[in-house]
Amino acid sequence: MNHIEGHRVIGSVAWDKLVSYRGGCEYDVPANLDGNPGARLSELIGKNAAKALIKYAGGDTIYIAVNWEKILATRYADIVARHEAGETPNEIALRYTYVGRYTERQIRMVLHGRPDILKEGIPGAQLQIPGI
């Protein structure tokens, strides 16, 4: 299930919660709200969204795509914030070596080519950083 479809079926807020919970994985949609799986889904995304998802794919397995644009925008915003707080590109690269496998050069590219939109707090818009 992609993001456009997820937003359409259960709404943006509920979809974002489901992506945070199971993004990048398959998810067995319960056939109904009865029992533990249905109750957990309802608690996670809300009763109305759970009903909509069950109506759409109840009893089936869906793949919940990861929102890479949002993940990268958040990561880039963190890199910029750390640099503005005084960390060097080398220090930032060491922090991200095992998370995103960023090199110091890549950190410098993010900082040099960073879109102004990240500083304005609207991550994800027109995010195009070459080489990453």
Q: In this predicted structure, what is the pLDDT of residue 56? A: 94
- What SS3 class is residue 23? coil
H or E segment and range at residue 63: strand 61-64
Ramachandran region, residue 27 (left: φ > 0; alpha: ψ -120 to 50; beta: rest)? beta
Q: In this predicted structure, what is the pLDDT of residue 131? A: 43
Ramachandran region, residue 126 (left: φ > 0; alpha: ψ -120 to 50; beta: rest)? left
Q: In this predicted structure, what is the pLDDT of residue 24? A: 85
Counts of helices then strands in the chain (DSSP H, E): 8, 2
Q: In this predicted structure, what is the pLDDT of residue 99? A: 63
Q: What's the average pLDDT block by block, 10 residues per block, for the chain (132 residues)?
A: 84 90 90 92 95 94 86 87 93 77 77 54 41 42
